Amino acid sequence: MKNEEYNYTLSKFSHEVRNPVTLINSFLQLMVQEHPEITTYNFYDKIEENMTILRRLLDELTDYNHAKNLYEEEVNLYLFLTDLTDSAREMLKEKGISLILQKESAIPRIKLDPVKMNQLFTNLIRNAQEAISHENGKIVIHISCDGNNVEVKIEDNGCGIKKELSDTIFDPFVTYKKDGTGLGLAICKEIAEAHNGSISVTSIPDEGTQFTLIFPIS
């Protein structure tokens, strides 16, 4: 199936499923209002949990389908990442994870979609956070420019990615997480490529993972 047909099918599926999911959720809330005792039933939490998973999946399907729709402006990616990491640092600190931003060289302004960049880097930082389950966690973001491209590396000292998953990790619905949708990294890949950039990964199980993003200056 061609990529356009694939995306159309996903978009139609997301739209068709979202309506009944919204109705089910609305009726569930009405039931709770009329019979609040049902929230004490053993199965109620499972219903809420699975409704949350469904809504998240539909939201991520929408994000995936719209990943290539860009509204670009000239952005200094280092300053952008400075703001983003400043916002995330305190939350990560509470989880025992340090977040470090390093700049190797002057970073020029390049055309990017700030909303999509926020989504891309937030996804990657969250991925890194979820991979760290020990004390002294560390996420290092390193940005540099060689005159032709701006390169960003995001490295963590988490659990790493199994070798058999590394070749397909950017494919839709492929995940190594228990509760993952398999769309987060697929969205990252779509966003990077929409900017004529690229994303790659290297990982060592039980040691950590590094994602590398490259964006052309022109």
Give the pLDDT confidence score for residue 15 in this predicted structure. 61
- In this model, does residue 2 exceed pLDDT 50? no
Note the pLDDT tens digit of each residue in 160-211: 888 777 888 888 777 666 666 678 898 899 899 999 999 999 999 889 999 9
Q: How confident is the model at residue 14 (pLDDT cuts 50, 70, 90)?
A: low
% of the chain with per-residue pLDDT over 90: 44
> According to the per-residue pLDDT averaged within each range, which of 1-5, 27-31, 88-92 is highest?
88-92
Q: Which of 23-27, 57-61, 208-212, 213-217 has the lowest mean pLDDT?
A: 57-61
**DSSP-based three-state secondary structure for 160:** coil
Contacts of residue 97, Cβ cutoff 8 Å, sequence gap at least 6: 129, 132, 137, 138, 139
Give the pLDDT confidence score for residue 110 in this predicted structure. 95
Give the pLDDT confidence score for residue 102 in this predicted structure. 96
Q: How confident is the model at residue 214 (pLDDT cuts 50, 70, 90)?
A: very high
Sketch the domain layout of the chain as residue ranges. 3-65, 73-216
Higher pLDDT, 176 or 98: 98
Q: How many angstroms separate the CA atoms of 121 and 214, rounded?
A: 13
Give the pLDDT confidence score for residue 197 in this predicted structure. 96
Which of 177, 184, 173, 178 lies closest to 211, judged by CA? 184
Which of 151, 162, 76, 87 lies closest to 125, judged by CA? 87
Higher pLDDT, 151 or 187: 151
Overall average pLDDT of the 118-124 stretch: 92
73-216: in CATH 3.30.565.10: yes
Give the pLDDT confidence score for residue 1 in this predicted structure. 44
Higher pLDDT, 11 or 144: 144
Q: How many angstroms separate the CA atoms of 70 and 181, rounded?
A: 24
Q: How many angstroms separate the CA atoms of 109 and 150, rounded?
A: 10
Instruction: Provide the sign of the torsion angle of the four alpha carbons 124, 119, 171, 143, taken in this order.
Output: negative
The pairs formed by 51-59 with CB atoms below 8 angstroms and a separation of 24 or more are 51/21, 51/24, 51/25, 53/179, 54/17, 54/21, 55/21, 55/25, 56/181, 57/181, 57/183, 58/14, 58/17, 58/18, 58/21
Distances (CA, A) of 125 to 90, 167, 178, 211: 13, 20, 18, 10
Q: How many angstroms separate the CA atoms of 76 and 215, rounded?
A: 12
Give the pLDDT confidence score for residue 149 in this predicted structure. 96
Read off the pTM: 0.74
Q: Beta 73-76 vs 198-204: how paired, if at all?
A: unpaired
The b/e string for 181-192 (b: 16+ C-beta within 10 A; e otherwise) is bbbbbbbbbbbb
Give the pLDDT confidence score for residue 54 in this predicted structure. 75
Give the pLDDT confidence score for residue 7 in this predicted structure. 61
Average pLDDT of the chain is 85
Q: Which of 14-23, 41-50, 77-86, 94-103 has the lowest mean pLDDT?
A: 14-23
Higher pLDDT, 40 or 18: 40
Helix (H) or strand (E) holding 149, with range, is strand 149-156
Which of 196, 110, 108 lies closest to 144, judged by CA? 108
Please identify which residue in the block is written with the tokens 């991979």: 131
